[in-house]
A and B are shown apart, each in its own frame.
Chain A
């Protein structure tokens, strides 16, 4: 009959309070939480063209075009992006120009699409489709000082066509198709004095044609054709006002062609007479006033034209150098810039074409050594306060970064290599050495309480504007998340990314800043003849136990050329400093890289690299690693998917190798192959489980207390094939001729566990495989909507084990060894749903122990990432779930998957040109770290089942303290009161 003791009640109350505060935590975030756990970085990619605003406009802006197909306007003072458009890869941007000082004109898709953009805000003004055959080298010319109207005509030439388009509304003013057979127009230019347009074209390899057109009507005023003996390679530049310079096919001599007179006359000059040791590819570039630059990979020569008589070398730069276009300074004079490497610095030279031998500016600039060579220079001038001309230049470096150089200094730099990430891995940060006491962090109790009071006010919506700002500042200031040490929750990590330029960059997950970067010498194009390509990045050494003192390291694998037989390059970097520990050029090619789960005694992870001769090479090459490997070799299998020949093959490893004497080389033996019939099925995609995935439970208890065992095999491979007609874009196939076949294959035996055909389905297919399920996205031509299907696979052979008696008597088969060779008895469940959007990438959340429920991360066509609960893709969903199923949490079946705006993990940001989504488990089980990359980068923390194992930032300690204080006071008051009453009763 005793009342409940008070102390547990207190705990209970506190518990209730905690639950109450957690319940308010929604999946989505509040607007004022933006930037707390996430960051978003915008990039543009490697700049290939840049146009400055005219000085008159007063704005210091530059419009750039990049290799990532981005058009952007940048602030010249800070390098910030004013506006930006990421154009689709199918619509490559070729040319860029400014018109009337207020329009940006772009030419794309091989000269077929002309667009005008508003310069201040980037709004598209007009778009004109031009009917040409797509040319490899379309030209764009904005005509100046056209006195006909207040309109600048835009001339576009591609193939045999020339179009003149009004720059105000995009209307075609005139068009001309030249009837000359096989003509390709190489140069279009306007004569300075009259309204005549010259067009120079080449037909075949030896015919040169020259046309003079009226700028107003496009009427041919004059046309001349000339046959030039010795073949032309197609490279033609305008040397001076009346001389063209063309390169011959053997790339050994130049033709100097005079074209302004009645007949075309030409003169041939041998390049070897001018420049010695001319090897490899080189580029002709015309500066004005008869100066021509000849650029090779190692040197730049400046040549001066002497009429058609010949050329003379004016100057030669023997360092790797880059040259800008000529920039008009005065009526007669033009300037250009040369940037070359001198030791560890770069030298910035500005010359005038009138006086080529002397320099106007010679400045030395210190730059980061990890940027490589200078690749491009864009010169710009400004008027100094003393009315003289000052120069600045945008410099594009080998690592794709963009720098602004002015007065001998780098004013700003943009790390635009991050727009082209190839692969991502992570690394832990160093362990904190000296324990930091709580007092250091929360240095003042009063401050701490004040902060929490503010937060409390914020949660109760009582804070005014100033206080809200104070709260925001307080949150961002908490430097906890930006520390360079490992944290208890595993939120602080290094994201190590490999970019297309061969640069490895480590980003801190706290705020996305660059911790270190290293342009790998082995992946630099300037070192070798071929163009090296970066392939993958892996964790090489993750120290635990015995080698705890060592730093972790990462492995970068690349190829030294574009073709598949090119030898590989291999580099190991320290994860904390970015220092290259080891680098080697492999003597074999790299076709497939297989990271193994095995580790040698120094915790280096074993990797197998398969070359084009189907030999497998073991790394690291240490006897210790070999011992570990040989022990496990008989249990190792791998498979390869050959999309070209439409075959999947499975292999085992053999000791012998073609290369004698190399004990680290292993032969492979083909065990099985699945050959798909090419006329009906083409491999579209293959997907397998992530190596580091952890599965917590092997069984799933369903509503009626039955148990289903998941078929958990690391060797499960999902392959989707499509009928050849369905391989194209959506509009191209009819539902009858399109089909998609999904396979689940065991990669050790080659056994097809499940096969399902979707008739009337079409690609592109995106898939993700995790635990015992696969989810894939495709287009349903019949319904004309996108669909997502799920297949879950369960192990039937273990289904008998649910009998308790059998378990007690030991008649279960739980302890029987599981082997891939046993014929699996599997049960497959599947279902499909409509999904609104196209998909660019798909991933699944990964957590440390695999307990937390999973979410699919879907990169949509709008460059957003949607987190979709796996519960929506459950084949056991039905239209009317029973009571038991409802209790289990099964959602009633709907024909389409819901898109809840709050579950976009990227909230109001867009990850432009989204390519990949990576989920990294944190140490805290509830939380996973999500990194999304495309042209932009986005990082956030995600808790698929909410943060059930920790209090968040939002938790109001002040409220808890106040409640406790009030309760204690109440207890004391009641106690005193009760005591008094008791005393009174006793006296009675």
Chain B
């Protein structure tokens, strides 16, 4: 815990105030493209330790960070840092696209009244972020996982159930026979002897 804190540092929500103070409004806006606006800087943290099953370390090389639905796109550096420069004050949306991970979009508010004040919150969970460290909410598994072969799965299949039922009957039926009244039993046996019904005759009847 302590190590990770020191590694992250404190200045993740960096804010560089405008060159000619954005409060001046029109005066700053006239300077076409040169330096008005703020910088949104943050970090993407994909924990390699969490990766189950894959032997590969989590790679940031194909992680894209998208501002406002595609207005600007940047890539994460090897250490996970990214930055957007010259972002005007307002409410913005940051999305992270990385195959295999699900990231929540982040709402970033840059205050126009007090320059240097930025708020960030995950839109999926509405959790506010103290520092702009984006972590995947979950890993995405794109494939169905094959169930390993097990006796239970075989038993659960319809055929297994049928076999199970039959086996059950083999053991339970004699028990049930025991409970029947001996006189009734004798009567039934008598009946059976009088009209013998056999499996072979059943078969021949079915064929006929």
Contact = CB atoms under 8 A, between A and B. Distances in A.
Is A bound to B?
yes
Interface string A20-33: 10000010111110
Interface stretch (B5-13, B177-185, B198-206): B198-206
A133 B34 contact: yes
B58 to A, nearest CB: 13
Contact of A974 (B67, B100, B123, B199): B199
B14 to A, nearest CB: 13
Interface string A890-907: 000000100101101001
A978 B86 CA distance: 90
Interface residues of A, number: 76
A112 interface: yes
Most A Cβ at <10 Å: residue of B73, B95, B144: B144
28 contacts: A13-B159, A19-B158, A20-B158, A28-B144, A87-B73, A122-B61, A123-B59, A131-B35, A133-B33, A461-B146, A730-B69, A730-B71, A731-B67, A732-B90, A779-B69, A784-B91, A784-B123, A836-B104, A836-B105, A838-B95, A861-B70, A861-B95, A901-B141, A902-B141, A975-B199, A979-B200, A982-B196, A985-B196
Given A764-B69, A908-B99, A982-B201, A460 B149 contact: yes
B98 to A, nearest CB: 8
Interface in B65-121: 66-78, 83, 85-88, 90-93, 95, 97-100, 102, 104-105, 107
B124 interface: yes
Contacts of B72: 88, 90-91
Contact of B78 (A125, A786, A904): A125
Given A90-B72, A975-B199, 12 more contacts: A3-B202, A17-B158, A32-B146, A90-B71, A127-B75, A131-B33, A729-B68, A729-B69, A731-B88, A781-B91, A978-B200, A985-B198
Contacts of B149: 460-462
Contacts of B158: 16-17, 19-20
A908 B141 CA distance: 9
Contacts of B86: 129
B99 A29 contact: no
Contact of A982 (B67, B74, B93, B198): B198
B142 interface: yes
Interface string B41-77: 0000000000000000001111010111111111111
Contacts of A6: 202-203, 206
A129 B85 contact: yes
A907 B92 contact: no
Most B Cβ at <10 Å: residue of A5, A7, A127: A127
**Chain B contact patch, size range:** 35 or more
A331 interface: no
B171 interface: no
A30 B198 contact: no
A132 B31 CA distance: 10
Interface in A945-988: 963, 971, 974-975, 977-979, 981-982, 985
B99 A132 contact: no
A757 to B, nearest CB: 21
Interface of A: 2-3, 5-7, 13, 16-17, 19-20, 26, 28-32, 34, 83, 85, 87-88, 90-91, 112, 115, 121-127, 129, 131-134, 460-462, 729-732, 764, 779, 781, 783-786, 836-838, 861-864, 896, 899, 901-902, 904, 907-908, 910, 963, 971, 974-975, 977-979, 981-982, 985
Contacts of A764: 69
Contact of A838 (B59, B66, B140, B143): B66
B32 interface: yes
Given A31-B143, A981-B198, A121 B33 contact: no
A17 to B, nearest CB: 7
B26 interface: no
B68 A731 contact: yes
A131 B19 CA distance: 11
A133 B97 CA distance: 30
A20 B159 contact: yes
B144 A91 contact: no
A461 B71 contact: no
B174 interface: no
A123 B159 contact: no
A786 B123 CA distance: 10
B97 to A, nearest CB: 4
Contacts of A115: 75
Nearest to A128: B85
Contacts of A19: 158
A131 B34 contact: yes
Contacts of B143: 28-31, 34, 902, 907-908
B69 A901 contact: no
Contacts of B87: 731
A28 B205 CA distance: 48
A784 B140 CA distance: 24
A776 to B, nearest CB: 15
B159 A978 contact: no
B100 to A, nearest CB: 7
Contacts of A20: 157-159
Given A126-B77, A134-B33, A908-B100, A838 B142 contact: no
A124 B33 contact: no
B159 A963 contact: yes
A28 B61 CA distance: 27
Contacts of A904: 140, 142
A902 B142 contact: yes
B99 A910 contact: yes
What 3 pairs across the A-B complex have the smallest Cβ distances?
A: A978-B199, A901-B140, A862-B97
B157 to A, nearest CB: 5
Contact of B105 (A112, A127, A785): A785
Contact of A836 (B64, B91, B124, B162): B124
B95 A837 contact: yes
A978 B198 CA distance: 7
Contact of B142 (A896, A907, A975): A907
B202 A30 contact: no
Nearest to B98: A862
Given A20-B158, A902-B144, A731 B71 contact: yes
Contacts of B124: 836, 896
A72 to B, nearest CB: 13
